Amino acid sequence: MLMTILALAWPTMLEQFMQTAVQYIDTAMVGSLGTRAMAAVGSTGTVNWLIGSTISAVGVGFLAYIAKAFGAGEETAAKRAVSQAVLITLILGIFFTAVTVSLSGMVPVWMQVDVNIREMASQYFLILYLPMLPRTASIIFGTVLRSAGDTKSPMKIGVLVNLINVVLNFLLIYPAREISLFSLRLQVWGAGLGVIGAAAASAIAFTAGGICITYVLWKHPVVSPRGQGFSPDMQILRPCLKVAFPNMLQRFGTSLGYVAFAAMINSLGETSTAAHTIANTVESAFYIPGYGMQTAAATLAGNAYGARDGRRMKDLASVFIPLEMILMICSGACLFFTAPGLMRLFSASDEVIRLGTSVLRMVAVSEPFYGFSIIIEGFMMGVGRTKTPFVYNITGMWLVRIVGTFICTQLLGLGLIFAWACMIAHNLLLFVLFFICYVRGVWNPLSTSVQTG
């Protein structure tokens, strides 16, 4: 079982590592342009979470359905679900393109971005969201492939997307210049577009990724939608959306909370915005073990549920939970000790480095607790129990993080450290709630003691 878990998890971890590495490179490249450029790029980043997580929630609905179908040996039903995933991808991609493009001028205003950088932030946002259809395809089709046990194809495409992004960043952000390569002096072409160049590089890379993953899905020997109808099939969509809807509300609600959280931090000034943006980027690398394992947990739990194998479900928990806790303890310790050096990679400002280091060391201590929550939530997504995580996450986000941050920053005049303290309190509350959920057996629909959840 351990080998099966690792075989599913490592490609997802590598894919997320590559994505995070590119985030690091993007942040470092934009950071070299100055604090204002960093603030312009980071100020609307939480809107990306809002949109991306909403789309991902739809993918969770298909993941639960397809993983369960494969576990029960119903491959035809799984393929029919993939064709419906294609239909939903088209609808969501077109819808979010229209919404993001039409609102690109207003988003920086709603996010309380400094008036001096609003135009730059608006242009960055507009370019980044023009390829919303291929971005939607990458998210949903990637989830479909993982639900069938294919985590390597999304990983390979993710590597390609990241390489394209890095190369284009190098060419589009900076002007023409001379670089040293060993003993050689080379003249390198550059467009000198700055923040706009970073947005264009990401947009082109997203488009390439969407095209590639659509091709891979279409040619896939197990889950290709070829030969299936693409008209709405409510027998498939109804159970998928039943799982997806609570998860969508959860992700939308928590992501909207991230937007409110970031808006309050933006109101603290450029230094806090830059420190928050960099710290978020740094922190994301250290959640890779957690979310890589969550994907494997969701897929294997869905398979076990489809096969009605209660013993296997319990065995999965007995392996996943200690493995996840060990990984997140190591990850948190690494973040704690490397925080100052990592902050220096992205900023030359002593104040930004000091502030970012403080909040990163605070959150590092809470990582093992958050890792437990991630795994239990993964099990519940895989078996289609998304209502309970919705209640837990919305409660923690809005009653602890947002209310707490509002009181600290807007009423008491406190700074970024107190805002992140509220975020950590949110994570610890999730640990308590999911631990109770685990002890009661609510996470497991095959438990003889729990029939609903």
- Residues 179-192, mean pLDDT to the nearest whole number: 78
- Please report the sign of the dihedral spanned by the C-alpha atoms of residue 63, residue 150, residue 157, residue 213: negative
Looking at the chain, the whole-number percentage of residues with pLDDT higher than 90 is 32
pLDDT of residue 448: 55
For the ranges 139-153, 276-290, 349-363, the lowest mean pLDDT is seen at 276-290
Which of the two residues, 174 and 450, has the higher pLDDT score?
174
Would you place residue 107 in the very low, low, confident or very high pLDDT band (cuts 50, 70, 90)?
confident
Q: What is the pTM of this model?
A: 0.73
pLDDT of residue 453: 41
Q: Token pair of 278, please?
A: 């960099």
Amino acid at 134: P
Which of the two residues, 293 and 87, has the higher pLDDT score?
87
Would you place residue 262 in the very low, low, confident or very high pLDDT band (cuts 50, 70, 90)?
confident
pLDDT of residue 450: 45
Instruction: Read off the pLDDT of residues 32-55 as tens digits, 9 standing for 90 and up.
Output: 777 777 777 766 666 777 788 788
Looking at the chain, the whole-number percentage of residues with pLDDT higher than 70 is 93
In this predicted structure, the answer to whether residue 17 has a pLDDT above a threshold of 90 is: no
pLDDT of residue 302: 86
pLDDT of residue 424: 94
Residue 188's beta-bridge partner residues? 177
Which of the two residues, 108 and 424, has the higher pLDDT score?
424
Instruction: Read off the pLDDT of residues 417-429 as tens digits, 9 standing for 90 and up.
Output: 999 999 999 999 9
For the ranges 110-119, 263-272, 325-334, the lowest mean pLDDT is seen at 110-119
pLDDT of residue 427: 92
- Mean pLDDT computed over every residue of the chain: 86
- Residues 165-176, mean pLDDT to the nearest whole number: 88
For the ranges 99-103, 186-190, 240-244, the lowest mean pLDDT is seen at 186-190
CB atoms closer than 10 angstroms to residue 11: 21
pLDDT of residue 445: 86
pLDDT of residue 451: 43
For the ranges 44-58, 189-203, 319-333, 391-405, the lowest mean pLDDT is seen at 44-58
pLDDT of residue 46: 66
- Residues 320-328, mean pLDDT to the nearest whole number: 90
